[in-house]
Amino acid sequence: VLKLFKLLHRTRREVFKNDAKALEAARQKINEEFRNNRDETSEEKINELLKIASDVEVILRTSVIQAVHTDSDKIVLIPRKDLLQDNTPYLDKPTKK
């Protein structure tokens, strides 16, 4: 449980880097969820909560992209290196393997 708690906070710091408002909101939400469930004794419920927390960490790490307003009608996306993937070239007629 503690390992996952720390992992969520590390992911939060990486995903919301340079955004104090989002960093604080995510910190409060993570702490609140763990605090609300700290007295849980059912092993089944604990495993379910750990699965949810693990899924949240994966979604944060793989799906969230920061954006910055530069003008009233422009937004600049700031993707992290782990989100960038190589594009597969498009082929009109794919070859069979």
Quote the pLDDT of residue 65. 85
All structural domains of the chain with their residue ranges: 1-82
The answer to whether residue 9 scores a pLDDT higher than 70 is yes
Quote the pLDDT of residue 97. 63
Question: Interior CA angle at 78 toward 72 and 81, to 5°?
Answer: 175
pLDDT, tens digit, 9 for 90 and up, residues 58-96: 998 888 888 888 888 888 888 777 777 666 667 677 677
Quote the pLDDT of residue 27. 95
Which one, of 24, 16, 37, 84, lies nearest residue 4 by Cα? 37
pLDDT, tens digit, 9 for 90 and up, residues 11-32: 999 999 888 999 999 999 999 9
Report how far residue 45's alpha carbon sits from residue 89's, in angstroms, rounded to the nearest whole number: 45
